[in-house]
Amino acid sequence: MIFDSYEAYKQAGFKPKACILGSGPAGTTIARKLGAAGIPVVVLEAGSREFSDESQDFYRGTTVGDYYFDLDITRLRFMGGSSNHWAGWCRVLDRQDFEPKAWAPDTGWPISRADIEPFLAEVRDILELPAFRPDVQVSDDIRWVQLIKSPAVRFAEKFADELDKSGNIAVVLNTYATELMGDGKRVTGAKLWSNGQDAGIFTADYFVTCTGGLENSRLLLWSNQRSNGGVVPNATALGRYWMEHPTFEGGNAILANYSEFQVDASNEAFFSPTPAAMERLQILNFGIRVIESPYPNVKRLIADLACTAPNMAEWMSAQLDQRLHCAAQLYVAWEQAPLASNQIELSRTDVDHAGVPRIELHWKKSPLERRTLLEGLKLFGATLAQKNLGRVRIDEWISNGGDYPNNEETAGHHHMGGTRMGTDVLKSVVDANCKVHGMDNLYVGGSSVFCTSGQCNPTTTITALACRLGEHLGKVIAV
Amino acid sequence: MSSFMKRISRRAIVQALIALPALSLFRNQPAVVDPDEIIEVNGWILRRSDLA
């Protein structure tokens, strides 16, 4: 069932056991799991079926620190959430992304990759993915990694009919919770806002916030402030350890034979460090995206190389006669160190139309990440040279410690952390089952529970965690 | 003839002359260049053999 307003929903007399806030990949997946288990669930979606400026305006905010995207363009507030603009790139976090690293404080999850692997077949079905392929070790330091370019499932498009026909799932559009109310043990209700006005208080046995990697923190921070700590009793880490995937062009490469790189249909290939290399160099995970360059770039690069390494340039020139596909741009995206100082705060001066403080995002890249960027490119360059697969040139601003350019991709629009998973209540917000510490009936879905970011796009892992949470919650509610 | 030369035998002089070439073993050897060594020049990650 899909309703366009809370008023219409109320008239239907639906009695849900659980309330999910948000209809993006996490919210929709959890709702479908609960619905399939025979559990009545309501999904509150703040936006409508389509994009609107009025709805997006609720997402405006400010960023303090490094340059970042405007907060109202880096996510979408309508049915299907940010799945409406994602690129569809898919990969699950690596095994080592879940493990603590002695050289990077506050890393490590309370679960391992094995805990989400049982759900990957389901994830493939939801995201329409081919089989996952194992990594291929290229050298002791570098591995080829699969990054699937999927059809970019728009969750509203794909599941609207199913949700509409479901007797167990009610989706209420143009409706959301401005705040949750709680007594330090349970969420006792949610103050609703529907179609631009106060819609009263809503109650359910269970609440799951799936409003996104920025908005989950905002909702819980505001709710906790209003209820004097009654919604997140252990709130030290709330809003903190926020992460992105910084992304910049890192250099170029001249490649002897591009076909050796297991390129995908877009003529791109992806590489990451081996766990041993990360440990030896004490760096974080990263992904190097190799993109074939047009032929004129090859000539320019070889002219540059000739000044430095005439022997190599001569050999490459000879190769050019036979094969033109041998120059590439290198883009690097990397894992961000989880830092408590990278955090979502509530603005003290600016509120949205419903009176909820807007987000003030504090975000800076760390020296460890800067070293990861440089050492990562060096590792990749050394592997290509050792294997005689090609040669890499690192951009000058990286080699010389220059400022990050502000005319590039900057980051991946991947919002992670803020309500991270863990066992230490001082450094986490939810437990291994995504339940808020100290609360009996409040859960969090989505990338805000990520403890570390890994290097890959988060939607696949978000969906796997949502399948896991949906299954867990189904058992909890059924008892 | 110096008093030093008077004190050593002709045999010892001949032995010393024979041993002279071996002294080169103790000279500083030029570093052995590994053509596969990975080096960084002007931002390029290269093998040493790439250089002219």
For position A302, what pLDDT does the model report?
76
For position A478, what pLDDT does the model report?
86
Phi, psi at A198, each rounded to 5°: -60, 130
Q: Is the ipTM of this complex over 0.95?
A: no
For position A185, what pLDDT does the model report?
98
For residues A158-179, average pLDDT: 97
Of A310, A386, A393, the CB nearest to B44: A393
- Residues of chain A with pLDDT > 90, as a percent, come to 86
For residues A61-72, average pLDDT: 97
For position B7, what pLDDT does the model report?
73
Distance of alpha carbon A436 from alpha carbon A429, whole angstroms: 6
How much helix, strand and coil, in percent to the nearest 5, is found in chain B?
A: 50, 15, 35
Only one residue has tokens 């969750």, namely: A155
Instruction: Kindly indicate the confidence band of residue A415, based on its pLDDT and cuts at 50, 70 and 90.
Output: very high
Instruction: Kindly indicate the confidence band of residue A324, based on its pLDDT and cuts at 50, 70 and 90.
Output: very low
- The number of helices, as runs of H, and strands, as runs of E, in chain A is 12, 23
- Structure-model confidence comparison of residues A296 and A271, the more confident one: A271
Give A356 to chain B, closest Cα distance, Å. 50
CB contact under 8 A, B49 and A311: yes
For residues B30-37, average pLDDT: 81
- Residues of chain A with pLDDT > 70, as a percent, come to 97
Q: Is residue A62 predicted with pLDDT exceeding 50?
A: yes
Q: Which of B47, B50, B51 to mutate to test the interface with A (most CBs of A within 10 A)?
A: B50
For position A388, what pLDDT does the model report?
87
| B49 contacts chain A (CB < 8 A) | yes
Distance of alpha carbon A373 from alpha carbon A377, whole angstroms: 6
In tens, the pLDDT along A107-150 reads 999 999 999 999 999 999 999 999 999 999 999 999 999 999 99
User: How would you class A102 by CB atoms within 10 Å of its CB: exposed for 0-12, middle for 13-18, buried for 19 or more?
Assistant: exposed
| B44 contacts chain A (CB < 8 A) | yes
For position B42, what pLDDT does the model report?
87
- Structure-model confidence comparison of residues A65 and B9, the more confident one: A65
Q: Is residue A296 predicted with pLDDT exceeding 70?
A: no
Q: Which residues contact A219 (CB under 8 A, 6 or more apart)?
A: A21, A177, A179, A180, A209, A211
For position A189, what pLDDT does the model report?
97
For residues A302-316, average pLDDT: 74
Q: Is residue A4 predicted with pLDDT exceeding 50?
A: yes
CB contact under 8 A, A391 and B36: no
| List of E strands, chain B | 38-41, 44-47
In tens, the pLDDT along A434-471 reads 999 999 999 999 999 999 999 999 999 999 999 999 99
Q: Is residue A305 predicted with pLDDT exceeding 70?
A: yes
Give B35 to chain A, closest Cα distance, Å. 11
Q: Is residue A298 predicted with pLDDT exceeding 80?
A: no
The average confidence (pLDDT) of chain A is 94
In tens, the pLDDT along A282-294 reads 999 999 999 887 6
In tens, the pLDDT along A343-384 reads 999 999 999 999 999 999 999 999 999 999 999 999 999 999
| Cβ-Cβ contacts under 8 Å, B40 against chain A | 378, 381, 394, 399
pTM of the model as a whole = 0.91
For position B2, what pLDDT does the model report?
62
